[in-house]
Amino acid sequence: MPTKPCLIYAHRGANTEAMENTGLAFDKALAYAIDGIETDVQLSRDEINVLWHDRTLEKLGFADKRIDDFNYQMLKSLGDPVSDSESIMTLKAFLDAYRTRCRLLIEVKNRDWEQPSRHQTKIRQTLELIGNNTDQHVLVSSFNLDSLVYAHHYQANAPLIYNFTPEQSISDLQQTLTMHPFLYGFCFPIETLQHDMIDLLRKQNKLIAVYTCNSDKEINQALAWNVDILISDDPHKALMLRDSS
């Protein structure tokens, strides 16, 4: 489990200072001595794991297109409209560049329109690219529980984090813990995390992460609860509040 104090992760890098999930955003985040980076993985049409969060490519000027409408070389050529030097990064390039510089949390975005086979391909490739991870320096998360079950069967020792939605409650948590004890931890929206959830997870020695803590109130609440990982769009503020407490 991560050491205390609470670890601060930059949400898609320093995404308020550069286009999210790009090398520039990650480098700017690391200038603040953060503990980790959270990023998102999707699959190109030719089955390359790439970093992208949104359901569409609207941020690149293609509101009616998705990542899986393009091969990777086509995606790479689209680039960042703000910076000619930035383009969509592969997961491999990200791991090569950053896994020795900080902790990583990789969220696998398995979409409802995709075939299950593509979900599984994305999971397999993510775990294979991460490779040796005995120190659990790289965590893998998803909102798709079936994908995490598949990941566990594929690589039993992978540290897997289940992302909760705002609609899920402590009864959902209890059921998930009973049915899937292999889960390494859970990531909650800060506005719905409750004391009884924390107590339950602490008793079972599970990692607790929260997203996305941006206001002073949200950050201070996460710090007061002593969560393991705090994910923020403003990692500099989160670091200052943590280190001054």
For residue 81, give the CATH number of its domain: 3.20.20.190
Domain annotation covers residue 1: no
Q: Give me the DSSP letters along 65-93.
A: --GGGS-HHHHHHH--SS-TT--PPBHHH
Domain annotation covers residue 50: yes
Q: Give me the DSSP letters along 46-65.
A: T--EEE--SSSBGGGTBTT-
Verify cis geometry, omega within 30 degrees of 0, for the bond prior to 235. no
Domain annotation covers residue 2: no
Domain annotation covers residue 131: yes
Q: How many domains in the chain?
A: 1
pLDDT along the chain (245 residues), means of 10: 77 94 95 97 97 95 95 85 72 97 97 93 98 94 98 97 98 98 98 97 98 98 97 97 91
Instruction: Quote the pTM value.
Output: 0.95
Query: What residues make up the domain containing 158?
Result: 7-244
Domain annotation covers residue 115: yes
15 to each of 11, 43, 65, 136, how far by Cα in Å?
7, 21, 22, 25
Q: How far apart are CA 200 and CA 170, in angstroms?
A: 9
pLDDT of 211? 98
Q: Which residue has the tokens 């030719």?
A: 46
Q: How far apart are CA 227 and CA 7, in angstroms?
A: 8
pLDDT of 83? 57
pLDDT of 127? 98
pLDDT of 222? 98
